[in-house]
């Protein structure tokens, strides 16, 4: 009876912590249905309903992560989800503001003018935002992964909807081509990290991450099978981050997808990949002490070297690629690749200061990246998206607010004080130096200086350039919501440093693993095993035993 209650309590804790994801799943069903309504007003309400569900998930997250479910969850990083889910929902609301007016815009205008009859098979707004919410739910679920199957399914749930979102984001063959490339490379990455998961299972004999950490911690030497599995898993997850060597798809997909979807891809897969690496690598970090005697953690040399090389190549190739671009979306794609390299510095640094600096960096990066794409989503040229630097020339004279927001976000992405981007990079670099990764920080600083060249083009061309015959055709889209999102994000880049202490405190969601914590996890694993054994049905009694028991009763 006690064992049954314990098992039920453990399941109850898991369901409690995924309440925000359950709410978003309900929201995806609701908006999918509303998107098929014949009423124009109902269809136009789909983005608002999506934003309300995201707002509700923030409240639910704040509540459930104050309950006892966190302590009984047996997660490697139990507090991680509270921060990650709130950040995903906040950025998600901003992305809804950008995407809402863009999806089905031409089709809805045709319906309103009488140029086309309503056809439910043609409208995509409800389906787009249903996939939008499903992808966010999958990204949130990664933070609660406690075994390899959960982690795999969560990563795929965060990825699969984006393939459809890319395909339907623009009514053009370029979007469809981008979606096909994205899908096939995504399938390759899924096969890669799934094979790595299989090797990790073979090396440890368990799918549970807490059990796996205990098994590896008690081994005198990590087996080759476990190291190979870890490397394969890292390479597969690198696709989500658009990190080398799984970065080739990013420029084509960013260029082919609509700006609203590119804004989504610029942040959500980043946080999904970073959190997945944090959770997965938790099985490899082992407690240690540094030269000063402070508690730290170390990775096996082969896995550390893999992460180190990926980080360096990603920063270098991303920034060099961005230097060669005149197409703004391709430039931002390579910029996104380089930003993944900076995130990997925190992964190399490890739990505690390293992971917390990643979370803090993601706050600023999410706002700055969204601001850039909100500006692009606010403009059009002859009914098509603004894509080249030439289209932005002299923007300050026609759309001064958008030009200033673009300039602020670009300067923030460089990491120039006093904007939030500076403090994000400072936190990453300081944590890395404290943990002996000085060489990696020097490389990052050099590549950051290189990035100033192309980011400053996003400042100089709109602010100092002169209008041309080409830019005369550039004007704002009818809806004001993308412009509002751009202003909110741009002001956030400037204002967030005023709340730097609160943001740093909120992002302190991980701790350095200690010998005591691993021993406690081992005790919990043994308890769970005993509970599972107690729940197994008893062996059937023989005829003689049954007769004796019946007579005794």
C-alpha 420/C-alpha 429 separation (Å) is: 14
Domain boundaries, the chain: 2-529
- CA 205, 209, 215, 216: dihedral to nearest 10 degrees? 110
Taking the C-alpha atoms of residue 102 and residue 443, their distance in angstroms, rounded to an integer, is 40
- Residue 1 in this model has a pLDDT that exceeds 50: no
Q: For residue 7, what pLDDT band results from cuts at 50, 70 and 90?
A: very low
Q: Give me the chain's average pLDDT, please.
A: 87
What confidence tier does 3 reach under pLDDT thresholds 50, 70, 90?
Answer: very low
Question: What pLDDT shows up at residue 546?
Answer: 36
- pLDDT tens digit string along 344-369? 999 999 888 899 999 999 999 999 99
Asked if 285 and 350 count as a contact pair (C-beta separation under 8 A), the reply is: yes
Question: What are the strands of the beta sheet with 384-385, ordered from one edge?
Answer: 384-385, 379-381, 474-476
Task: Say what the pTM is.
Answer: 0.91
pLDDT score of 535: 46
Enclosing H/E stretch for 384: strand 384-385
What's the CA gap between 238 and 232, in Å, rounded? Answer: 10
Q: pLDDT digit string (tens) for 80-97?
A: 999 999 999 999 999 999
78: Cα within 13 Å, side-chain hemisphere: 19
Residue 113: pLDDT over 90:
no
User: Element (H or E) spanning 328, and its range?
Assistant: helix 328-349
pLDDT of residue 398: 87
Average pLDDT of the segment spanning 218-226? 89
Q: Please write the tens of the pLDDT for every residue from 473-505.
A: 888 888 899 999 999 999 999 999 999 999 988
* pLDDT tens-digit series, residues 25-83: 999 999 999 999 888 889 999 999 999 999 999 999 999 988 888 887 788 888 899 99
pLDDT tens, residue by residue, 517-528: 565 655 555 555
What is the percentage of the chain residues whose pLDDT exceeds 90? Answer: 59
For 404-435, what is each residue's pLDDT tens digit?
Answer: 999 999 999 999 999 999 999 999 999 999 98
Q: For residues 434 and 541, which has the higher predicted lDDT (pLDDT)?
A: 434
Concatenated DSSP letters of 453-468: HHHTHHHHHHHHPPP-
The two three-digit tokens of residue 342, written as one number: 């900076």
- What backbone torsions phi and psi does residue 551 show, to the nearest 5 degrees? -65, -35
In this model, does residue 287 exceed pLDDT 70? Answer: yes
CB contact set of 201 (below 8 Å; sequence gap of 6+): 148, 207, 229
Predicted local confidence at residue 296, as pLDDT? 73
How do the residues of the chain divide into helix, strand and coil, expressed in percent and rounded to 5?
75, 5, 25
């Amino acid at each position: 009876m006690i064992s049954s209650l314990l098992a039920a309590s453990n399941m109850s804790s898991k369901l409690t912590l995924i309440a925000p994801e359950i709410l978003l799943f309900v929201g995806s069903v609701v908006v999918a249905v509303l998107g098929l309504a014949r009423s124009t007003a109902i269809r136009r309400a789909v983005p608002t309903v999506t934003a309300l569900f995201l707002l509700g998930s923030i409240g639910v997250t704040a509540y459930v992560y104050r309950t006892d479910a966190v302590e009984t969850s047996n997660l490697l990083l139990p507090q991680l989800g509270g921060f990650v889910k709130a950040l995903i929902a906040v950025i998600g609301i901003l992305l809804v503001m950008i995407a809402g007016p863009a999806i089905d815009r031409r089709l809805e205008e045709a319906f309103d003018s009488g140029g086309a009859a309503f056809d439910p098979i043609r409208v995509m707004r409800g389906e787009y935002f249903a996939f939008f919410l499903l992808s966010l739910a999958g990204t949130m679920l990664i933070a609660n992964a406690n075994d390899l199957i959960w982690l795999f399914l969560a990563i795929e749930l965060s990825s699969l909807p984006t393939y459809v979102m890319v395909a339907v984001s623009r009514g053009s063959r370029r979007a469809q081509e981008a979606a096909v490339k994205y899908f096939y490379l995504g399938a390759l990455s899924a096969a890669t990290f799934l094979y790595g998961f299989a090797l990790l299972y073979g090396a440890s004999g368990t799918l549970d991450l807490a059990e796996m950490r205990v098994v590896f911690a008690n081994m005198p030497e990590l087996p080759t099978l476990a190291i190979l599995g870890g490397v394969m898993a890292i390479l597969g997850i690198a696709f989500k981050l658009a990190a080398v060597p799984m970065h080739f798809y990013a420029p084509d997909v960013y260029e082919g997808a609509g700006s609203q979807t590119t804004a989504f891809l610029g942040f959500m897969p980043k946080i999904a990949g970073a959190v997945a690496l944090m959770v997965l690598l938790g099985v490899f970090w082992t407690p240690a002490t540094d030269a000063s005697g402070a508690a730290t953690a170390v990775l096996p040399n082969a896995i550390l070297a893999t992460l180190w090389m990926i980080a360096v190549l990603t920063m270098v190739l991303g920034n060099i690629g961005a230097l060669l671009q005149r197409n703004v979306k391709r430039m931002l794609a390579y910029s996104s690749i380089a930003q993944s390299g900076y995130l990997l510095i925190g992964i190399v640094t490890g739990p505690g200061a390293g992971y917390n600096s990643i979370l803090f960096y993601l706050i600023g990066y999410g706002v700055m990246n969204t601001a850039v794409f909100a500006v692009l989503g606010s403009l059009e040229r002859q009914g098509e998206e603004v894509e080249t630097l030439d289209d932005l020339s002299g923007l300050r004279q026609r759309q001064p607010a958008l030009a200033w927001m673009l300039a602020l976000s670009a300067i923030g992405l460089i990491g120039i004080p006093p904007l939030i981007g500076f403090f994000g990079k400072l936190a990453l670099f300081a944590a890395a130096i404290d943990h002996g990764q000085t060489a990696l920080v020097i490389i990052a600083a050099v590549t950051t200086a290189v990035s100033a060249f192309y980011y400053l083009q996003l400042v100089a061309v709109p602010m100092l350039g002169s209008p041309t015959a080409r830019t005369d055709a550039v004007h704002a889209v009818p809806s004001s919501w993308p412009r509002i999102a751009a202003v909110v994000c741009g002001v956030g880049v400037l204002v967030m440093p005023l709340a730097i202490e609160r943001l740093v405190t909120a992002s302190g969601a991980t701790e350095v693993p200690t010998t005591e914590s691993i021993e406690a996890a081992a005790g919990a694993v043994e308890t769970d095993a005993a509970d599972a054994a107690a729940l197994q049905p008893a062996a059937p009694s023989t005829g003689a035993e049954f007769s004796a028991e019946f007579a005794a009763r």
